[in-house]
Chain A
Amino acid sequence: MNNRHDTVLEVRDLSVDFLTGRGTVRALRHVDLTVPDNRIVGIVGESGCGKSTLINSVLRLLADNAVVAKSSSVVFKGRDVLAMSPADLRGIRGQEISMVFQDPMTALNPVISIGTQMTDILYRLDMSMADKRRLAADMLGQVGIPDPARRLADYPHQFSGGMRQRICIAMALMMNPGLLIADEPTTALDVTLEAQIIHLMKDLCARFGCSMLFVSHNLGLIAELCDEVVVMYAGEVVEQGEVHDLFHRAQHPYTRMLLDCDPARIEEKRRDLPTISGSVPDLIDLPRGCIFAPRCPERYAPCSDSAPATYDVNAVHQVRCFKVRDA
């Protein structure tokens, strides 16, 4: 990575707590993340590690019981999203940052036709209804919906899952945003569709000059699509770096174990699939030292005393593990 990119999104020291009846769930702790211009950044991690909380905080779509720490900042093109007024926030949503959701079956309003939904979010544009419908049809065409002008009158249930996700992508990109956030957009789709949708998103982002924050737990997908990867565990970023470097020289034990668990990378035939033993720690009552220490096969003395800081492996690769410091 020798050419310097301007950053689109810069998340600094983001901590999010959820106040629940059982106590305070410390869902995100001191997360740093940078999305450079025209790059695709992947976030990977197991369920419940804070991926969704992270991307929802970027658009401030968190539930009412969420508390974002005062020291946090989410800067999008020079403006702090966390400090914005609701009106400014609405200006950002959909126009500057938009989002594609996990389940296309539920992400569209079932009782309103596609055309109406698509033109409705264009309310900020000063153009006639006919032009808005033309724009919507044009966008549907770009995501590969056949006969788009006619299909504007159809309702979501008249489309297949893959087509609905294409429609969601079309809606997200219609206002030409600077950043597209994709929350496991292919998890609900089958494998052949997955590849199509991924290529479509990659193409469209390149065409519209849009950066992408891509959340997945599919390592193969991340490797294929992304330029940079962030590995999250239990609300912390444990390792991040340029995709090639990270996958080939994974430093954090968690990342390595995650890679070992990927069925696509297993070479010899065996009865059991590998797993990471143990479970994610309770986020209400955190362990004192490294968050991964209770499950880590390589832990040693410093791990259970204090939490590791982030250490550089090289210019494009950072890890939160004492072994890298001591190496």
Chain B
Amino acid sequence: MTDTTPSDVAIRREPRFAWFRQLLRDPLGCFGLVLVLLIIFSAIGADLIAPHDYKALDVKSRLAGPSWDHLLGTDNLGRDTFSRILHGGQIALYVALVSVGSSLLLGLVLGMLAGYGPTWLDNLLMWFFDSVRAFPVIMFALAVITVVGPSLETIIFVVIVTTTPGYARIARASTLATKNTEFILAERSLGAGVPRIMFSHLVPNIVQPLLILASMDIPVVITIEAGLSFLGLGVKPPTPSWGSILNDGYGFIRNTPWLVIAGGIPLIITTLGFTFLGEALRDVLDPKLKKER
């Protein structure tokens, strides 16, 4: 049909943000979105919002309760807890987004290669993933941290290594289920090459469960970061982390409850926010579940 002159028909674009409007109509999704946006904006704008320098010591008013000057009180060194929470959010989100994003991409590509590629590659990759998954996460993290030393990059590395196999397994299973369907055969019969089949046709079919898993994994990763920091194996002081704030609060719980509350609430908000958003996105993004207009 290369020689036909295309008739002058009005071309309607696909509505780009229809799914977003649908998301807003779902109360839980809306709630999740608000929480997630709250966390994201407070982290991005931490430098602007924070009333104090998170490193500034004010020993005279240490372990103070909430006041207009210190909205969530101060810690054992007299540092403003609210400012430290905001900056801790930056660290948490940075770790979560970088590591979940990387393991999502890595897992997607490796899983598709395993599912679509030859059997030997499938076996090799699966053998590798299963060996990695056999390690207990905390033991693996402790071992790596002992060797390399605690740092943000170490946490990110540990999370990528331990979560990639999960994404890869899901990607592989969906690829196997999809690759023998008739529309893949039809695409091949129409001359689509392997990269085109993988990235234009398989990815949209298999990426959706991965995205939901990813949005649910973000709070998990944030708690891993907080947990390691709680144990003193995460970010180094004076960089604030929700985990180290919790640890400080744990040490001084007889003096003030405010540090534990301040360290715990953002973790709860993040977990709820990303979980609700993940659930709602699943309902909205799947065209098979889409209601007729």
Give residues of chain B (1-29) contacting chain A, Cβ–Cβ below 8 Å: 1-4, 6-15
Q: Let me know if A134 and B11 touch, CB within 8 A.
A: yes
What 0/1 readout, one digit per residue, does chain A (109-132) give for beta carbons within 8 Å of chain B? 111110110001101110000110
Q: Let me know if B190 and A125 touch, CB within 8 A.
A: no
Q: Let me know if A120 and B196 touch, CB within 8 A.
A: yes
Minimum distance in angstroms from A293 CB to a CB of chain B: 35
What 0/1 readout, one digit per residue, does chain A (145-183) give for beta carbons within 8 Å of chain B? 000111011010110000000001001111110000000
Asked if B143 is at the interface of the complex by the 8 Å CB criterion, the answer is no
Minimum distance in angstroms from A300 CB to a CB of chain B: 44
Cα A34 to Cα B288 with chains together (Å): 42
Minimum distance in angstroms from B185 CB to a CB of chain A: 6
Chain B: interface size category: 35 or more
Task: Assess A139 versus B204: contact at CB under 8 Å? Given A93-B188, A133-B11.
Answer: no
Asked if A36 is at the interface of the complex by the 8 Å CB criterion, the answer is no
Q: Let me know if B9 and A137 touch, CB within 8 A.
A: yes
Q: Let me know if A125 and B2 touch, CB within 8 A.
A: yes
Enumerate chain A residues within 8 angstroms of B4, measured Cβ to Cβ.
135, 138
Enumerate chain B residues within 8 angstroms of A274, measured Cβ to Cβ.
none
Q: Let me know if A61 and B189 touch, CB within 8 A.
A: yes
Enumerate chain B residues within 8 angstroms of A108, measured Cβ to Cβ.
183, 186
User: Chain B binding site: helix, strand, loop or mixed by DSSP?
Assistant: loop
Cα A134 to Cα B8 with chains together (Å): 7
Q: Let me know if B181 and A106 touch, CB within 8 A.
A: yes
Enumerate chain B residues within 8 angstroms of A152, measured Cβ to Cβ.
11-12, 14
Give residues of chain A (80-118) contacting chain B, Cβ–Cβ below 8 Å: 90-95, 98-99, 101-103, 106-113, 115-116
Q: Let me know if B186 and A153 touch, CB within 8 A.
A: no
Asked if A231 is at the interface of the complex by the 8 Å CB criterion, the answer is no
Across the two chains, which residue of chain A brings its CB closest to B194? A86
Enumerate chain B residues within 8 angstroms of A172, measured Cβ to Cβ.
190
Task: Assess A99 versus B7: contact at CB under 8 Å? Given A112-B204, A123-B196.
Answer: no
Asked if A59 is at the interface of the complex by the 8 Å CB criterion, the answer is yes
Across the two chains, which residue of chain B brings its CB closest to A96? B191
Asked if A287 is at the interface of the complex by the 8 Å CB criterion, the answer is no
Minimum distance in angstroms from B189 CB to a CB of chain A: 4
Asked if B187 is at the interface of the complex by the 8 Å CB criterion, the answer is yes
Give residues of chain B (170-218) contacting chain A, Cβ–Cβ below 8 Å: 181-183, 185-193, 196, 200-201, 204-205, 208
Enumerate chain B residues within 8 angstroms of A149, measured Cβ to Cβ.
9-12
Enumerate chain A residues within 8 angstroms of B290, measured Cβ to Cβ.
155
Q: Let me know if A157 and B189 touch, CB within 8 A.
A: no
Enumerate chain A residues within 8 angstroms of B14, measured Cβ to Cβ.
113, 115-116, 152-153
